[in-house]
Amino acid sequence: MNKADWANNLMLDPNWQEVMSELRSTELAKFTNSDYHDVEAREQAYIRLRTLESITDHLEGLKAQKAIDKKRWKIL
């Protein structure tokens, strides 16, 4: 199994989707429910949300690489 197939299987896994959704919801709740003066808590929640997004984007890129490679050979 190559990385593209692995990423595709992972992104389609209901457990993975549930975990990522729970993590996003937790960080959004921290961000939303933080006190007005608690800038540090909001910053930490924001950084964690960006990290989750980065992980998802990277997996999407791995997933798309197979299609990109396939089209690359058609052009050449």
Q: Quick one: three-class SS letters along 1-39? A: CCHHHHHHHHHHCHHHHHHHHHHHHHHHHHHHHCCCCCH
Nearest to residue 39, comparing CAs of 51, 30, 50, 48?
30
| pLDDT tens-digit series, residues 14-50 | 999 999 999 999 999 998 999 999 999 999 999 999 9
Both tokens of residue 38?
Answer: 């608690």
69 — pLDDT class (breaks 50, 70, 90): confident
